[in-house]
Every structure is written in C-alpha cells, then in structure tokens.
Amino acid sequence: QRGMAVTAGPRSSELYARACRLMPAGVNSPVRAFASVGGEPIFYDRASGCRFTDADGREFIDYVGSWGPLILGHAHPAVIEAVTISAADGTSFGAPCAREIELAELVVDTVPFLEMVRFVSSGTEAVMSAVRLARGVTGRDAIVKFTGCYHGHADYLLVAAGSGLATFGTPSSAGVPESSAGHTLLLPLDDEAAFRRLMTKHGDEIAAVIIEGIPANNGLLPQSESFVDVLRTECTRHGAMLIFDEVITGFRLGPDGAAGHYGIEPDLVTYGKIIGGGMPVGAYGGKRAHMERLAPLGPVYQAGTLSGNPVAMAAGAAALRTLLADGGSTWDRLETLGARLETGLREVFTKHDHQWSVVRRGSILWLALQDGPAPVTAEDIDTGAAERYAGLHAALLERGVYLAPSAYEVIFVSAAHDEAVIDQTVAAFDEAVAEVFG
C-alpha cells in the first residue's frame, strides 16, 4: 500500500491551525479530526445537492451527508424554504407551537406501532430518555447492549466489550465512573444462545434491551431475522422492554425503518438524523400507556428548553413530507442508487483481485476491506482493514470523493445523487484502488 496524499488545502490548514488553538484537536466531534485516516480535516464552505465546496474552493461528492440526516441532499429547496419561513417567525419559543404537532402527526401516522412521541434535540438525548422511561416503566435497573453498537455518549452506554460472554460493563471513556456502567450488561451481536442464557440468568433484573436497528456505527453489521426475533421473544417473556435505536435507520430504510425491515414491533424506538431535516432533532416514542409515564403525566422526568424548536420542527416536517410524497418513491430511488453503487464497487474490487466486501442495506453502505465473509459482529472486523481504508480515503479525496474519515463509518447515498454521480464515484474508486493497492 502506497503512502497517503495531502488531503487539506492551504485555507483548510489555516482554519485548522486556528481551530486547534480554540477547540480540542480543532473539532467539536472526535471523528472529524481525521485521526484514523491521517492528514488534516477539510473545512466545508458551502454545500448543495450531493456536493460540497471546501474552504479552498475544491468540490467533492459527499457520501457523509452530515452523518446521515441529509437523505434529500444538502440545502434541499423544500427544507430551506421551511426553515426560512419558520425562522422569520422566531427561532425559539421554549413553549408549545403548532409545528411540533405537525411533525408529531407525520411521525406517528407513518410508523404503525407508534402512538405517541416526544421530541428532543439529539439522538443521544433520545436514547438516554428512552432508557430512563424503560426503567421507570419496569421498575428495574439493568440494561443490555451489544458490542459494536453505539447509542450516544451517555455514561452508562460508553462501556467496553468483555469476552464473548456477558459481563457487567466497565467504562471505555475516562471521566465515566464504574458505577455509571454498573447496570449495563454486554453481549456480542448475532449470538442467540448467549442472549438466551443472559435472559435466563438476569431476565427479572433487566429493564431494557437496546440495539441499533441495523448496527451502523462500527461498520454495517446487519443481523439475522432469527436473532432479532429472539430479542423480541425473550424481552416479552421476561417483561423487559425492547428499544430499537433508529437514529440512523429511522426513515432511511423506509417509512417504518429497521423495525419494518425485520417485521417486528419494539416497545420503544429512538429517532434522530432524518426527522430533523438536517437540524438538531431527536425523538423517542412508543405506545400511549408507556409514553404517558413521562412527566408531567407520570413520574419519569425529562425536559429540554430547545425540544420542539420551531425551526427544527419545520425542517423535519418538510423533509418527511418530501420523502412521503408520490407514495414514497424516493425510497425506491434510493434503493436503486444504493444497488448501483454496491454493484460498481464490487466490480472494482473483483477487477483488482481483492476479495473485499461491500455491505449494503438500502442507501447505507460499508466497505469491509478484508477477505472472507462480511463481518456481522464487531469482533469479526479485521484491524488491518482500517489501515487499508486510510490509504483509499486519501486517494479518493484527491479524486473529489469524500467518504467518512473512519473505516468504521458508513457511506450514505442521498436522493440528490444520481446515476451519473454514482458512475463517476465508481470510476474514482477504480483509479484509487489501482493506485493505492497496485
């Protein structure tokens, strides 16, 4: 594998140097720092459709899309119009407004198993609140999460993996007391037997089992229908609540997300990303009987000054209305575009004699740059794949294709991409793979 190319232009480098004096590593979220791919981060200047222009005037095809929410592309006209109109009426009320109801109706009317939702300002906040609600409903403390699944940065969800067997969690971040993770049980994905054993032993202690709808924060790790069915069955048997974290998959895989993909009904579901139309919005929801346990109707407290922010609600409603228009044909188009990119990338890898995997669900793709079957658990991922990805990432940047600066993050296709852009991307991959790997 050849060395990596320079990734940032002079203006980006200047901005990065200024940022580093003011913010840790010059960024406000760790993965933006390019630490795992080398080089300096590229600073965006403006974006439209499926492309952005950096601070040096260079244009890139964007496959990050603000980490997933921009399913319609950057600066979609309907979203921009909604934001502009709403902002002119006031940017924040801290009080009820009609736009909250409009977005809530769209979400509840679209997702068959939802009866009520509550809006928050991020996916992390949605998950924190859903876990608290599950504990309040069940009167239990323990939760189960799976290695390789990310649910935001709440203390009790930042836990390291133990062995293949369930262990009570230990923190994986400094500043998190062990006691915070002490009620979190860990299991590997795709292990029905281990999950059944855990529920047999601890089922009466467990408030909730939480899983990403389709794990997409540590590679894309689709789980079998059988495994997901076991989660549902065992939670029902032991009185635990099943929480689907659909912050990434909600409204991206279709109107009912990963739950619809698997044909199951979780007890609680968390949303983010797309339902804000690119603005900072999260939500959690479920059956009325559970949601009415929240304050002020019930004893489970959760609040937020910016929850239901009118501008963010308007953006989310515009995005969802656009997705739902024409019978949801946008999702059909996303499936077609995603399949075209998957096929093209597979052909590139085969052409250059690499037995690597392209994993796809709808408009979400992941490159597993390792031989053998595509991973379905975090433990299956070859660390050498990350080194390969770093070189490929830099070579693609030189060809105007922007992927996430981490081998463990996914590719997001938007409705603003088209067949010509997909083909241009595949051609760039062809050149990049030949250059980096010979």
The set of catalytic residues is: 150, 245, 273
The letter for the amino acid at 391 is G
Minimal CA–CA distance to 231: which of 269, 265, 184?
Answer: 265
φ, ψ of residue 407 to 5 degrees: the values are -70, -15
Cis peptide before 77 (omega within 30 of 0): no
CB of 252 within 8 A of CB of 415? no
Minimal CA–CA distance to 320: which of 277, 280, 257?
Answer: 277
Longest alpha-carbon distance in the chain: 64
The letter for the amino acid at 350 is T
Cβ neighbours around 218 below 10 Å, total: 22
